[in-house]
Amino acid sequence: MKGEAAVSGLLVVDKPAGCTSHDVVNRLRRVYGTTKIGHAGTLDPAATGVLVMGIGKATRLLAFLQGTAKEYRAVARFGMATSTQDAEGEVVSETPCDLSLEEIRRAGAAFVGELSQMPPMVSAIKIKGEALYKAARRGEEVEREPRAVRIFALEIESFDPSSQSAAFYVKCSSGTYVRTLGADLGDALGCGAHLTALRRLSVGSFKESESVPLADLQAMEREEAQGLILPMHDAMRDFPRRRVDGDELDDVSHGRELVDVQPPARLGELPMLNVKRSGDRPAHEAGMTAGVPVGIIGPDGELIAVYRRSPKGLKPAAVLI
């Protein structure tokens, strides 16, 4: 039936440059013959790499994936700042510089940890109901609040002295703007910078090694393309799981709460890297487990719901049966 997916699950797409994330959604709707497709986190048009898609019922699971850590590889050119913090914008300042690899690495080390980052005007964040980039197109500057993000690793991999360009790898929390990270690194070095390339390497444990180029998908017959869809339960592979049967299965089918029999003492290395603060530490480091998704698995091994931890037990967030 039109609008309904014959198969529900996840698809890891390698997005090419030159198209928006919504363009990818539209193209895949034609490939799979359904309107029920969404993505777990936008990539800029010029950016490439991992875009996790949900098809059919799996669109209800994308919100849980959006909070996972991300990995990127980017190239920053120092000595030139732009209005968009990437090569698409207008040059707003040029500062002659003669940096070295060692200088950039020293400056980069200071960015590892929790940062306060100002969202760029070209972002999709909404202020008073309007996305910032729409105001930016009108030449307007909107007052906005900085947000807490976390950089888990920042490695300067190479440097070209002739172009004053550095390639770097970053692992960061959800909500981090890598273009802003590059611009802030340039400011720290006193010369400004902008990104000339950006590629997303992973969303949680979904890596570029399992991604499929968009052009390949568009060239496939529908049956072949459906064979690449990952099962629904893969959406929860980075999170705790709970198998249910009997009375608990009946509770889940009716959307009732469950007793949390084995809540973890702390989140540890879970990719759900929530940076809401508790005292002076991010929530995932402070051992706070409330709100963490838990995949509920039925007797047949299939994902039947996602619950969230609360102080009083597990509460339903998405029931799929």
- pTM (2 decimals)? 0.87
Q: How many other CB atoms sit within 10 Å of the CB of residue 122?
A: 20
Tell me which of 8-12, 198-202, 312-316 is least confident: 312-316
Spell out a b/e string for 200-227, using b for 16 or more CB atoms within 10 Å of the CB, else e: bbbbbebebeebeebeebeeeeeeebbe
What are 17-74's pLDDT values in tens digits? Answer: 999 999 999 999 999 999 999 999 889 888 999 999 999 999 999 999 988 899 999 9
What are 99-108's pLDDT values in tens digits? Answer: 999 999 999 9
pLDDT (0 to 100) of residue 161? 97
**Res. 112 pLDDT band, cuts 50 70 90:** very high
Structure tokens at 243: 């198998």
pLDDT (0 to 100) of residue 292? 83
What are 142-200's pLDDT values in tens digits? Answer: 666 778 889 999 999 999 999 999 999 999 998 899 999 999 999 999 999 999 999 99
Q: How many other CB atoms sit within 10 Å of the CB of residue 88?
A: 15
- Which helix (H) or strand (E) segment holds residue 319: the answer is strand 313-319
pLDDT (0 to 100) of residue 109? 97
Cα–Cα dist 99/279, whole Å: 38
Q: What domains are defined for the chain?
A: 9-68+205-234 (3.30.2350.10), 70-203 (3.30.2350.10), 239-319 (2.30.130.10)
Catalytic residue ranges: 44
What are 250-298's pLDDT values in tens digits? Answer: 999 999 999 987 655 444 434 444 444 444 334 444 344 557 899 999 9
Contact between 217 and 225 under an 8 Å Cβ cutoff? The reply is yes
Q: State the chain's mean pLDDT as an integer.
A: 86
- Which helix (H) or strand (E) segment holds residue 217: the answer is helix 214-219
Phi then psi for residue 84, to 5 deg, are: -110, 0
Residue whose structure tokens are 């040029």? 94
